[in-house]
Chains A and B, each alone.
Chain A
Amino acid sequence: MAGVPIDLQLLNLCAALLLLLSFAMLAQRRIVNLVNLLALQGALLLCATLLLAWRTGQAHLYVSALLTLALKVLFLPWLLHRLIRRLQVYWDSEPLLNIPVTMLAGLAVVVFAFGLAQPISALGSTATRNSIGIALAVVLLSFITMITRRKAMSQVVGFLSMENGLFFGAMSATYGMPMVVEFGVALDVLVAVLVLGVFFFQIREQFDSLDLQHLEKLREEAAAAGGGGNTSGGDN
């Protein structure tokens, strides 16, 4: 890495750390820690955006960094922590599937993501084009996190981490999306989390728990009682 300027090295470091964090999320049992990891991911994203903004001198990246700071580093983790306290799930953890197997699946997904991103990276003109593979890997790893979880809160963290991955992808491929789109996406994420907050309380009120297994059980009962239809939820 002798010929690579220091800021680019730092950017690559950020990308690598993001990938590492995704694996950490995959193996994390406790919900509070998951939220903290998400906040850390947001902070890394902020660093990457700032580095890139400084390197390329594009003004809109600073705005985008500000948006990341406000939304992903401060507001969302704060909101999720607050929800965790209000819902009293602070000490919740969940049994995971076999962790080594999940990790191996994650590795396979990373290889797949790099393979998929190869032709795109080859065409890119941005300095960070090699990170596209990492961004795609983060998206897919978050997806695995989502489908291996049974608690509503961890699925949401997976969802938000997927959004972070997409954001990182947009940044490394094209130095971010047009401003109006970025604001729109941020607004959507914000509304999504607020809607989910309401939703958690509804689920909680109904079942005394945020465990989604309750939902599946009810569906099967309903199906047996005459709801009919499919019982396979959440597969994709």
Chain B
Amino acid sequence: MELVLLLSSPLLGALVLGLVGGRRSAPELNVAFSLATFLAACLLTLRVIGTGNLLVAHEQFFIDPLNVFLVTLTSLVGLTTSLFSRPYMRIERDHGRVSGARLRLYHGMYQLFMATMLVALTTNNLGLLWVAMEGATLSTVLLVTLYRTPASLEAGWKYFILCGVGIAQALFGTILLYFAAEHSLGIEGASALLWTHLNGVKGQLEPAVLGLAFVFLLVGYGTKVGLAPLHNWLPDAHAEGPTPISAVLSGLLLNVAIYAVVRCKVLVEGALHSALPSRMLMGFGLLSVVLAACFLWRQRDIKRLFAYSSIEHMGIITFAFGMGGPVANFAALLHMTVHSLTKSAIFFAAGHAAQKAGSQLMDDIRGLITLSPTVGWGLMLGSLAILGLPPFGVFASEFLILTTAMREQPWAIPILLLALAVAFAAIFGRVQPMVFGETRARRLPHPPALLPVFAHLAIVLLLGLYIPPYLADWYRAAARLIAGQ
């Protein structure tokens, strides 16, 4: 019941806002639908805490510890982003960058995007997971090109083609999984792609086929995660689209893509009894961390800078999932949570900073602290949090990942530490003058929405200081599930 509410709220929202999304009151409607989705997610969470896992609609949808916390996180960030987008898009409209018709497209697609992500998270059918992931790409392509500038058109095209090709690989991987399931189990028809069924019999699946399937699945969904060397679309799409979209792409879509990879990894690892999936994840993860750290130095656009930082963090998470084991998985899940909250908060602050300066180039953004202390502090604290300074939550998760790596994969430690240090220097060196430099910029026509920024940062701070026991239990249950225990 709650699940129906959860999925129908954004779908209905897409429909309604697709019709009236250009009106003056559309941003409020957008917030209202996002709030309804969030409340549904909370109800669902309560229900799952009360009664345990759910398996509904002919087993096509399910809720277990791994996806329920991602559902809550997704709907929470969806809600705060809609709060942020309310003044942000009004300012864009006043600046003449978007028209009413484009706002209609924007609001409708925003809700549709939320719906596809929630379907991807809750579906039990690996085929539907693929369909929803592709749907998430399609619903955001036109959002990336919302401003119709040459650069945004290129970004949108690259996004579409790279993710389209990537996700086609994932479809082939899914076909192979289906093939393996039919072959080994003789399960007929629709149930052969259900994750719960496959997970029950993963030991009997044909290892050769599953190994091959995993390569395709990892390359496919990995493209969406933004793993190097398939990350080319990510900085462009983040930098050229409207900022609320950068926030949800970075904070949510990447998480959902990682979720898809992890679901597949659980199956393949169970069938393979070898370290191949782990090694591949660790390799891709480390490569992304290193490459992103190098590219961070060359950035001059604030959104591109933080887009590369997202690639770096996705690399860290992928590496942690690659190490496997309950502790590393726990840390990776925690890192997914805190990264998504912190990164979207940073994008909120960066979006307003860029609006104030009238430019996304970091050389043009100066002296935020005198101009608008809240935006300045938001950006500064957010950057410190994402760089892994204590007492923020990112520190806790990175610390856990590093200590686990020291025990299990000591060779990776120097690489990780070096990359983290490089990233620290690059980002801090850029953010500091933006916040504390001299300035002469003008005021904004609408007051910026900074509640989301500080709400996110407060949660991240809280998670760094103290993880409530039920949340920790929840992470542990999910970590055990991923570790296949």
Rounded to whole angstroms, the CA-CA distance of A179 and B135 in the bound complex is 18
Q: B135: which A residues are within 8 A, CB to CB?
A: 188, 191
Q: Which of B12-20, B167-175, B416-424 contacts A (4 or more CB under 8 A)?
A: B167-175
Q: Is the CB of A159 within 8 A of B179?
A: no
Q: A192: which B residues are within 8 A, CB to CB?
A: 134, 138, 160, 164
Q: B208: which A residues are within 8 A, CB to CB?
A: 119-120, 123
Contact of B209 among A120, A159, A229 (CB under 8 A): A120
The answer to whether A185 has its CB under 8 Å from any CB of chain B is: yes
- Between A and B, 18 residue pairs with Cβ closer than 8 Å are A123-B206, A123-B209, A124-B183, A136-B172, A162-B165, A162-B168, A169-B175, A181-B125, A181-B127, A185-B127, A192-B134, A203-B153, A207-B150, A218-B150, A218-B151, A229-B299, A234-B232, A236-B166
Contact of A206 among B150, B162, B298 (CB under 8 A): B150
Closest to B230 in A: A236
Rounded to whole angstroms, the CA-CA distance of A128 and B140 in the bound complex is 38
Contact status of A228 and B153, CB under 8 A, knowing A181-B127, A181-B130, A199-B145? no
Partner-B contacts on A (CB < 8 A): 116, 119-120, 123-125, 136, 139, 143, 146, 152, 155, 159, 162-163, 166, 169-170, 173-174, 177-181, 184-185, 187-188, 191-192, 195-196, 198-199, 202-203, 205-207, 212, 214-216, 218-219, 222, 226-230, 232-236
Contact of A229 among B131, B183, B235 (CB under 8 A): B235
Contact status of A226 and B142, CB under 8 A, knowing A162-B165, A162-B168? no
Closest to B132 in A: A184
Q: A198: which B residues are within 8 A, CB to CB?
A: 142
Q: Is the CB of A174 within 8 A of B179?
A: yes
Cβ contacts B174-199/A at 8 Å (1 or 0 each): 11101100110000011011000000
Q: What's the minimum C-beta distance from A90 to chain B, rounded to whole angstroms?
A: 22
Q: Is the CB of B235 within 8 A of A202?
A: no
Q: Is the CB of A188 within 8 A of B134?
A: yes
Q: B171: which A residues are within 8 A, CB to CB?
A: 166, 185
The answer to whether B161 has its CB under 8 Å from any CB of chain A is: yes
Contact status of A180 and B190, CB under 8 A, knowing A120-B212, A169-B172? yes
Rounded to whole angstroms, the CA-CA distance of A139 and B190 in the bound complex is 25
Cβ contacts B142-154/A at 8 Å (1 or 0 each): 1001001111011
Q: How large is the interface on B (under 10, 10 to 19, 20 to 34, 35 or more residues)?
A: 35 or more
Q: Is the CB of A233 within 8 A of B190?
A: no
Q: Is the CB of B161 within 8 A of A159?
A: yes
Q: Is the CB of B212 within 8 A of A174?
A: no
Chain A CB within 10 A, most for which of B127, B138, B175, B236? B175
The answer to whether B8 has its CB under 8 Å from any CB of chain A is: no
Q: Is the CB of A166 within 8 A of B145?
A: no
The answer to whether B60 has its CB under 8 Å from any CB of chain A is: yes
Q: B161: which A residues are within 8 A, CB to CB?
A: 146, 155, 159, 234
Q: Is the CB of B301 within 8 A of A227?
A: yes
Rounded to whole angstroms, the CA-CA distance of A191 and B300 in the bound complex is 35
Closest to B150 in A: A218
Contact of A227 among B128, B183, B300 (CB under 8 A): B300
Q: Is the CB of B131 within 8 A of A187?
A: yes
The answer to whether B471 has its CB under 8 Å from any CB of chain A is: no
Rounded to whole angstroms, the CA-CA distance of A56 and B78 in the bound complex is 47
Rounded to whole angstroms, the CA-CA distance of A188 and B112 in the bound complex is 13
Contact of B361 among A136, A162, A196, A226 (CB under 8 A): A226
The answer to whether B428 has its CB under 8 Å from any CB of chain A is: no
The answer to whether B157 has its CB under 8 Å from any CB of chain A is: yes
The answer to whether B156 has its CB under 8 Å from any CB of chain A is: yes
The answer to whether B377 has its CB under 8 Å from any CB of chain A is: no
Q: Is the CB of B157 within 8 A of A152?
A: yes
